[in-house]
Structure 1
Amino acid sequence: MTFALDADLVILGGGLAGLTLAARLARERSGLRVVVLEPRTVYQDDRSWCFWRPEQNDLSHLVSQSWKTWTFSDPAGRTFRHQVPGLTYQYIRARDFYASMQADIALSSRVDLRLGVSAETVTAVAGGVRVETSAGSLLARQVVDTRPRATESMLYQSFVGFELEREHPFPFDPREVTLMGSLTADAEGLRFVYTLPLGPNRAIVEWTRFGMAPIKRERLVGELDEVLTGLGLADARRVRTEGGVLAMGLGKQTAESIPGVVYAGNAGGALRAASGYGFLRIQRWARLCTESLLAGQGAVGHPEEPRVRRTFDRIFLQAVRAHPERTAEYFLALARGVAPAALVRFLSDGARPADYARIISSLPWTPFLAQVAAPATFSPAQTLPAAKPTPTTETSVQR
């Protein structure tokens, strides 16, 4: 028995991935009936996304700040400044992204964003996919599931940040980003400060830990308080808070393949295993998925990671896990020994063979050679996770 379809496509999750795809389909006037289910009832200014692009690009209307210089430093104050001609480090804040995507969606009568509605179960049925929601049942031709899911990871990037303002100028150059400042490491892993100057009297200052276990927000906030005191910023007014935990290198999972369902977002492979940068990867996926849908070929998930990149990321993460106390040494070696353009290409999924060679030559060989023949301890992010979404009070910031 077949039933009338409620939608051609149901998107589970109206976050970065879900909204990007829905807005793109709305702009393209695809004619598809699209329903986006999002548990939130209202979007908040709770996240930040950054990436490297030419000053003028297709996302320029969303970019609120950009910088030509980004730095790395150690606790002794040694600083390595990077620039790449023609590229800037660009910042999109959540409120601007959410507002733009919702405005695009609102212009289409065929795309319906349903806030305050949660997806509960997803099953394949004759003629499509049935989604049971908190507001009833939907039958769709296909589903794109972008929801976060409980999973084990090889490493975790835990962080919290404050947007600060004060009457007096901040004690750092507003023309440059501190990408990884005061880099240190111990048995728990890497620690560093990430700073985005938004003007002489306003900035986002973030404290990050990179290790084998997630760090509770309360601890991160306490440590960030100490960092701010050390920077002379204890008196700065806290405008807002953002933070989260990024899974670096997804662990082994039980694959759950449901006919008619594809996975996207972090659980589907959006997050780069060794970097934490995901915004542009999601934009590329949304474009590919839209093109496939417009061609009548159905929705697609994230492309599989190229073998070289997947292998390099595995070796790097396993070396970090094996010797967490040396992690700062690794990143400072990259900042010092790799040309800025090559390092940006690596972080932005555009590394060339010569870039990998330069990265390898800049790192201490012994800990990495030990991992070349070691078995993989995590699976590619494209493995479909079977776990149900796990609610979290933390928000995830994809750089």
Structure 2
Amino acid sequence: MNSVVDADLVVLGAGLAGLSLAARLARAPSSPRVVVIEPRTAYQDDRSWCFWQSKQHELSHLVSQRWTTWSFSDSAGSAVRHHVPDLFYQYIRGIDFYSSAQADIAQSPRVDLRLGVRAERVSAVPNGVRVETSAGTLLARQVIDTRPRPAAAMLYQSFVGVEFECDWPHPFDPTEVTLMGSLAADKDGLSFVYALPLGPNRAIVEWTRFGVAPINRELLAGELDHVLTGLGLDDVRRVRTEGGVLAMGLGRQTGPEIPGVVRAGNAGGALRAASGYGFLRIQRWAQMCTDRLLAGQEAVGHPEEPWLRRTFDRIFLQAVRKHPERTAEYFLALARGVPPATLVRFLSDGARATDYAKIIFSLPWSPFIAQVAAPTVFTSASLAQARLVATPTATTCSGWTQ
């Protein structure tokens, strides 16, 4: 490799993962030389993220809404409400995160965000990596690839949502998130409503479906229109839309491994297999990776899932896949039978062995026992559907609620 490199680190993709890492490095007093390339030319208010956390944390200045209560309900409207003292369900608007990260990066002479640049070919060279882009070639000591890429998955969570304003009070309690509302399931899988009330006259409402294949966005949008009509919201002013597909339980990533390149972001294992939550997992990875790079160590991808979590998630997803018509029953059993703090710890990667025991005992045994020794099964649609998921789309709040 040429003795002169363009950067110590090149980051491919400046979505949530790439920007989270770059902003942390930019805030450090002494950072390696970093170049971040991103094909989009500007950021739009096209997505948002939600998570459970205490009121004060490193990104609390970006939180635009917090709720103390979240609910689940069945198709008949029977609701279960959860609350954990001193814990809030929190919402960060996409454009606020993008703007904050860009402002941090702009203050650093050693972190360079290049918009409108696409990576075309990545290859190993002696002592480094060559990245051929639409704007020329970069030589780097290391590369972190956060770009979407094709991979088969056990299940897909497809959703579309709208943020709206109305001149009358909407039907949602402003103090409560509808986490999984009107839960219903049939042979094609699970469906539910997700609602974030942003005030008495403003909210985000999403329609979500689980299935063995991604659902066409136009089909979902039509179903969402039907949901809004049923809620008396067909004449609201639509401010913006969001939508996407989360691949849950990814299979082996396609493409050869390249020395000096690590994968991160959703395609690198950021999403929790059983729920799709990823925001806090990405923040933890970004901090870990930042600490290593500042210490002169190599970048790393997301850590491997602990055995217990990985095994439980596999069994859960396979039971959902095997009996899609029972999926609403499973989620309602969790909502009704698991203490709220336990369920939040499970969703937030903090579950203890005793928490898993409570979750297991809340679920019907027979469908899950049958999957204990069953081999891991991925969708038959394979790469054709995986390429659809790998296409960049607007995604919203991490998890069952996106």
For the Cα contact (< 8 Å) 1:149–1:389, is it kept in 2? no
In 2 relative to 1, CA 391–315 (structure 1 residues): closer, same or farther, beyond 3 Å? closer
Deviation at residue 29 of structure 1 after TM alignment: 2.7
Output the CA distance in 2 between the equivalents of 1:271 and 1:69: 24
For the Cα contact (< 8 Å) 2:247–2:389, is it kept in 1? no
For the Cα contact (< 8 Å) 2:245–2:389, is it kept in 1? no
In 2 relative to 1, CA 191–391 (structure 1 residues): closer, same or farther, beyond 3 Å? closer
The secondary structure found in structure 2 opposite 1:210 is strand
For residue 275 of structure 2, what is the amino acid of its counterpart? S
Corresponding position of 2:51: 51
Corresponding position of 1:203: 203
The secondary structure found in structure 2 opposite 1:314 is helix
Corresponding position of 1:158: 158
Corresponding position of 1:395: 394
Corresponding position of 2:365: 365
Q: Write out per-residue CA displacement over residues 60-117 of structure 1, whole angstroms, 9 at most, x where no aligned residue.
A: 1010000000000011111000000110000001010000000000000110000000
Output the CA distance in 1 between the equivalents of 2:117 and 2:33: 18
For the Cα contact (< 8 Å) 2:73–2:180, is it kept in 1? yes
> Any residues of structure 2 matched to 1:138-287 within 5 Å, and which?
138-254=138-254, 256-287=256-287
Output the CA distance in 1 between the equivalents of 2:396 and 2:40: 17
Q: Write out per-residue CA displacement over residues 197-232 of structure 1, whole angstroms, 9 at most, x where no aligned residue.
A: 000000000000011110010000000000000001
Corresponding position of 2:314: 314
Deviation at residue 57 of structure 1 after TM alignment: 1.4
Greater Cα offset, 29-38 or 238-247: 29-38
For the Cα contact (< 8 Å) 2:269–2:302, is it kept in 1? yes
Deviation at residue 151 of structure 1 after TM alignment: 1.4
> Any residues of structure 2 matched to 1:80-99 within 5 Å, and which?
80-99=80-99
Name stretches of at least 5 consecutive residues in structure 2 with no aligned partner: 380-385
The secondary structure found in structure 2 opposite 1:281 is helix
Output the CA distance in 2 between the equivalents of 1:388 and 1:212: 14
For the Cα contact (< 8 Å) 2:246–2:389, is it kept in 1? no
The secondary structure found in structure 2 opposite 1:249 is strand
For the Cα contact (< 8 Å) 2:214–2:389, is it kept in 1? no
Output the CA distance in 1 between the equivalents of 2:376 and 2:390: 29
The secondary structure found in structure 1 opposite 2:164 is strand
Identity %: 75
For the Cα contact (< 8 Å) 2:51–2:280, is it kept in 1? yes
The secondary structure found in structure 2 opposite 1:64 is strand
Output the CA distance in 1 between the equivalents of 2:271 and 2:128: 29
**Residue 288 of structure 1 pairs with residue 288 of structure 2:** yes
Output the CA distance in 2 between the equivalents of 1:181 and 1:361: 23
For residue 328 of structure 2, what is the amino acid of its counterpart? A
For residue 101 of structure 2, what is the amino acid of its counterpart? M
Q: How many residues align?
A: 392
**Residue 9 of structure 1 pairs with residue 38 of structure 2:** no
Corresponding position of 2:112: 112
The secondary structure found in structure 2 opposite 1:204 is strand
The secondary structure found in structure 2 opposite 1:247 is strand
In 2 relative to 1, CA 222–134 (structure 1 residues): closer, same or farther, beyond 3 Å? same
Corresponding position of 1:127: 127
For residue 97 of structure 1, what is the amino acid of its counterpart? F
For the Cα contact (< 8 Å) 2:11–2:145, is it kept in 1? yes
For residue 310 of structure 1, what is the amino acid of its counterpart? R
Deviation at residue 10 of structure 1 after TM alignment: 0.2
For residue 241 of structure 1, what is the amino acid of its counterpart? T
Corresponding position of 2:336: 336
Deviation at residue 254 of structure 1 after TM alignment: 4.1
Output the CA distance in 1 between the equivalents of 2:243 and 2:32: 35
Output the CA distance in 2 between the equivalents of 1:33 and 1:108: 10
In 2 relative to 1, CA 328–70 (structure 1 residues): closer, same or farther, beyond 3 Å? same
Output the CA distance in 2 between the equivalents of 1:142 and 1:258: 11
Output the CA distance in 2 between the equivalents of 1:32 and 1:351: 35
Greater Cα offset, 315-324 or 165-174: 165-174
Q: Write out per-residue CA displacement over residues 104-148 of structure 1, whole angstroms, 9 at most, x where no aligned residue.
A: 000001100000000011101012100000000000000000001
Deviation at residue 31 of structure 1 after TM alignment: 2.9
Corresponding position of 1:384: none
Deviation at residue 51 of structure 1 after TM alignment: 0.3
Q: Write out per-residue CA displacement over residues 21-62 of structure 1, whole angstroms, 9 at most, x where no aligned residue.
A: 000001013331100000000000000100000011111101
The secondary structure found in structure 1 opposite 2:29 is coil
For the Cα contact (< 8 Å) 2:12–2:37, is it kept in 1? yes
Name stretches of at least 5 consecutive residues in structure 1 with no aligned partner: 380-386
**TM-score, normalised by the number of residues in structure 2:** 0.95
In 2 relative to 1, CA 268–56 (structure 1 residues): closer, same or farther, beyond 3 Å? same
For the Cα contact (< 8 Å) 2:155–2:211, is it kept in 1? yes
For residue 296 of structure 2, what is the amino acid of its counterpart? G
The secondary structure found in structure 2 opposite 1:150 is coil
Output the CA distance in 1 between the equivalents of 2:258 and 2:297: 17
Deviation at residue 397 of structure 1 after TM alignment: 2.4
Output the CA distance in 1 between the equivalents of 2:396 and 2:67: 19
Deviation at residue 378 of structure 1 after TM alignment: 5.2
The secondary structure found in structure 1 opposite 2:302 is coil
For the Cα contact (< 8 Å) 1:68–1:88, is it kept in 2? yes
Q: Write out per-residue CA displacement over residues 170-200 of structure 1, whole angstroms, 9 at most, x where no aligned residue.
A: 0121100000000000011000000000000
For residue 144 of structure 2, what is the amino acid of its counterpart? V
Deviation at residue 398 of structure 1 after TM alignment: 4.3
Corresponding position of 1:137: 137
The secondary structure found in structure 1 opposite 2:143 is strand
